[in-house]
Structure 1
Amino acid sequence: MAERGRPRNFDRTAALRVAMEMFWEHGYEGTSIADLTSAMGITPPSLYNAFGNKEQLFREAVEFYVARDGGTTARALREGATAYKAIEAMLQAAGSAAQGPDRPRGCLVVLGAANCAQQNKKVDEFLQGYRQGTREAIFHRIRQGQSANELAPDADAGALADFYATVLNGLAVLTRDGASRTSVQAIVRQAMAAWPASA
C-alpha cells in the first residue's frame, strides 16, 4: 500500500523556505502546485496536509519572508538613531537586500501578487495589508522624529510617509528589473534630498 500524506523525513521549515523562494521568483499566480511540490520535494497530499492549500501556503511563505529576508525595513525603522537615518537605512537596506546573488530580486510583499486575477483578490489584499503596515510604520517613525525636533513640526508626516513608501515599493520594481547598486544608491540620495529641514 502506497504511503499517503507527509513523508517521514518532511522538513516543514525547509519546504516553506523553498515555497517562499518560488513565490518570490514567480509570483503567486506564476507558481503552480506542480511547481511547488517539485521544488519542495513533496507530494500534493503532503502539501495540502502541511499547509492547507496554495493560498494558505502563500500567506505562510510571506510571513516567513517578512520575519527573515523581508525584515530589514522594520529593523531599519526601529534601529535608526534619527527619523532621517531610519528612513535612509530602510531605503538602502531594501535596495541591497533585493540584490543578493543567491536570492530572487525585488520584494515578495510588493511583487508577489501584482495584477492578480479576480479569483485571487484576497491574496492581493493580504499583501496590501502588509504594504499599508509598512507605510504606517514609516509614518510613526516620522512623527517620532517630529516629536524629537528632528524635522519641522508642521511637515506633512502623512505625505512624507506616502512618498517614502512609494520610493520603497519602486525600488522593489527597479531591482527586479536589474537596477545596479549604484543606481539604487543614487535614488536613495535623491529621495533623502526631499527630507524637510528641522525647525
Structure 2
Amino acid sequence: MKLYHGATRDNASQILADGFQDLTSNFGLFNAVTGDPVNTTGVFFSNVVLDENEGVSSETYFVLNIPDIELTNYEWFEEGKGYREWCVPADLANLYLVDRTVYSWEELQMNSESDRRNPIGQAENILWPSDSFYQSSSDTGDVAGQERLSVRELVCQLYKESIAVDPGEFLGLLDVDDLVAFNHQSEQIMHWLTATRELIRIEKQ
C-alpha cells in the first residue's frame, strides 16, 4: 500500500540522514468517550496526502510502499474519516524507505493526476526490461567448483524464495545494513537508467 508521511523541511533532512525515528504523541487521536489524548509511539502515515484541510501543515512528504500484511497491527480506526491512518514502528518504516525523494504537496497532486490517467492494469504502457537487460558478460558457468547464475536466474530465484515464505519471515532473513546498501545502490542505478533513457530520447528527436 502506498503511504504518505508529512514533515517539515528540517525533519525531512534528518530523515534522509538518519532514517525515521519513533515519536510518542497522540497524533490527533483522542478517546471517543473521555476526550483524553491517546498517546502511541511510532511514525504517522496515511493513505492520502494530508494538508491544512485535515489540520496538518507539512512542507514536504515521503512516499513509502509497505505491504498490507505488514500494516495489520498498526492501523487506527476512527469513525467519520475519509482516509486511513497508521502509526508504524520506525524500524519497519525504514525497511521500506526506498524512495528517498522529498516531495512537495504540488508534486504529489501532479503524480495523483497522472495515476488517474494511467490506472493500474494498463500493462501495455509499462516498459518491461527486455531479455537483453538480464544478460551478463558470460552465461551461467562454473567458477571454483560453484555454479554461477546469470542475473536473470538470480532475479527469478530471489522472487521464488520471497513468495515461498511469510513476508515478515523473509524480511527477517535479510541483513538490515545490506538492505540499506542495496536500496542506495538501486537508487543510483535507477538514476543512471533514467539519465541514459533521457539521452536516448533526446538523440531520437
TM norm structure 2: 0.27
- More strand as a share of residues: 2
- More helix as a share of residues: 1
| Higher RCO structure (Cα 8 Å, ≥6 apart) | 1
The structure whose Rg is larger is: 2
TM norm structure 1: 0.28
